Amino acid sequence: MGKVNVVYATKTKHSQKLAQAIAKELNVEAVQIIEESNPEKTDLLFIIGGIYGGVCNPVLISYANKLDKNLVDKVVLVTSSASDSGRCQKEIRNILQEKEIQLLDEITCPGGILFVRLGHPNKKEIQQVVDRAKQIIQ
């Protein structure tokens, strides 16, 4: 699979948990993205984030805007959100499509907010995401 990078942005640490679990399994480091972050050359990039008011994390949108198909070959999105229907990082999908960067899959995971889905993601859900990530890179 070549070089694999794992990046995330988070507001309530769910994406961080998922990113760290995936990164550990793949023997790489989970890197937290900030507005100033610049993408590295990589073969497969995991981008992990939540949904807020129906929209992806703006920090990840800025990061996706800096991607280039000569820099990043393939992407897997990992999306944590409270609602089943909202589980899609639309804005990032659109950016990847415009840039002709291949999206291999979008792995979704429940993530609680206040009393909605409190306690999620749980251990089992995190493991399911890790297992799916492993399957994808095999």
Interface with ligand FMN by CB under 6 A: which residues?
10-15, 50-54, 80-83, 86, 111-113
Q: Are 66 and 40 spatial neighbours (Cβ–Cβ below 8 Å)?
A: no
Q: Are 6 and 31 spatial neighbours (Cβ–Cβ below 8 Å)?
A: yes
Task: Please identify, using beta-carbon distances, which residue of 71 and 88 lies nearer to ligand FMN.
Answer: 88
Task: Please identify, using beta-carbon distances, which residue of 42 and 57 lies nearer to ligand FMN.
Answer: 57
* Residue 137 parent element (H or E): helix 123-137
Task: Please identify, using beta-carbon distances, which residue of 27 and 85 lies nearer to ligand FMN.
Answer: 85
At 88, the amino acid letter reads C
Taking alpha carbons only, the member of 84, 79, 74, 89 closest to residue 117 is 84
- Rounded to the nearest whole angstrom, what is the least distance from the CB of residue 87 to ligand FMN in the complex? 7
Q: Determine the residue with CB nearest ligand FMN.
A: 111
